[in-house]
Amino acid sequence: MSSVFSLSLDQELIMTNGVNGGLGGLLAERSSGAPRRRFKRYTTGTYIGLIACAIQGSPDKMLTFKQIMKKLEPFVFGDKRGIENNIRVCLSSNRCFEKVPFDPNYPNPKKNFWKVNENGITPKMFRRHFKYLINIFPGLSIPTQAVDECKDNSHAPEPLACKVAESKSVGKFTGPFSIDSLLKSDREVKRMRSTSLEERVHYGDAQRVVGRELASAKIPLLSSGPQHGHSLPPHITYNHHVLFSSPLMYRPTRYVSW
């Protein structure tokens, strides 16, 4: 049985920032009148998946912001500060990430670990960001054989759920990753969101309500920077293997046992 990650060792994970990516941006006006730079986005992957991956790759499954940045260092190209900012926004605006006080006895709003909150991940989020990261989530120990079988069908998210559902070795569990949840059509998910799911989403604004599903998750490139079509500039390509064999990782072979 192979690991989910080993399946995608040849896939590239890239995170760049358009600011230094060489492609200029647009200038937009802020409401205050101050100029605001805009950059075209060419994204086929998400920060959320990569951040979660980094966090779940740590022994305690929680990291400080600095540690997260260090882990993602090999993936950062271009304006590091911009990416830091983006990651910060990602952490604080997504419910799938939650803070854990550095010292519970002396809580400091600026000293926190960040961990993945699986309850904050909806089925859609899961399929969009975590489909290929299934094994990093305890409680979702999907046999990778199922994923193997699903590989050829990866254009459509549903077959994964079907394969998982067919697997007898997967225990019944509840929550957003439950088989039932994953099997639900998006319309059903929408209905759920109007009831129980909506209660779970603590954000009122649209930016934090989970929605769109990634129709094609075949190659989870992670990039917020420019890509030229789907062939990436050689200077920013990065092999997935580096993340999981990087000295930055606490356990270089962890991807095998996740």
Q: List the one residue from 3, 46, 135, 144 that touches DNA (CB under 7 A).
A: 46
Closest distance to DNA from the beta carbon of 42 (Å): 6
Closest distance to DNA from the beta carbon of 58 (Å): 15
The verdict on 109 binding DNA (CB under 7 A) reads yes
Q: For residues 180-209, which are near DNA according to CB under 7 A?
A: 186, 205-209
Q: Which is nearer to DNA, 36 or 251 (CB)?
A: 36
Q: Which helix (H) or strand (E) holds 185?
A: none
C-alpha to C-alpha distance for 206 and 201, rounded to whole angstroms: 11
C-alpha to C-alpha distance for 117 and 134, rounded to whole angstroms: 14
Span near DNA by CB under 7 A; candidates 44-52, 135-143, 163-171, 242-250: 44-52
CB 10 within 8 A of CB 239: yes
3-state SS class at 93: helix
The verdict on 123 binding DNA (CB under 7 A) reads no
Query: How far is residue 192 CA from its own chain's centroid?
Result: 22
Query: How far is residue 165 CA from its own chain's centroid?
Result: 23
Q: List the one residue from 115, 129, 240, 254 that touches DNA (CB under 7 A).
A: 129
Q: Which is nearer to DNA, 87 or 144 (CB)?
A: 87
The verdict on 256 binding DNA (CB under 7 A) reads no
The verdict on 63 binding DNA (CB under 7 A) reads no
The verdict on 225 binding DNA (CB under 7 A) reads yes
Phi/psi at 148 (nearest 5 deg)?
Answer: -55, -50
C-alpha to C-alpha distance for 108 and 55, rounded to whole angstroms: 20
Closest distance to DNA from the beta carbon of 199 (Å): 15
C-alpha to C-alpha distance for 67 and 214, rounded to whole angstroms: 29
Q: Which is nearer to DNA, 10 or 198 (CB)?
A: 198
CA 250 to each of CA 111, 112, 116, 200: distance values in angstroms, whole numbers, following the listed order: 21, 19, 17, 32
C-alpha to C-alpha distance for 144 and 5, rounded to whole angstroms: 9
Q: Where do the H-state alpha helices sit in 171-236?
A: 179-183, 186-193, 196-200
C-alpha to C-alpha distance for 130 and 203, rounded to whole angstroms: 21
The verdict on 71 binding DNA (CB under 7 A) reads no
Span near DNA by CB under 7 A; candidates 54-62, 65-73, 169-177, 237-245: 65-73
Span near DNA by CB under 7 A; candidates 1-9, 19-27, 133-141, 244-252: 19-27
The verdict on 221 binding DNA (CB under 7 A) reads no
Span near DNA by CB under 7 A; candidates 109-117, 162-170, 229-237, 250-258: 109-117
Interstrand relation of 97-101 and 112-116 (parallel, antiparallel or unpaired):
antiparallel
Question: Which positions lie near DNA, rule CB under 7 A?
Answer: 16-19, 25-26, 28, 30-32, 34, 36-43, 45-48, 64-66, 69, 79, 82-86, 88-94, 99, 108-112, 114, 124-125, 128-129, 186, 205-216, 224-225
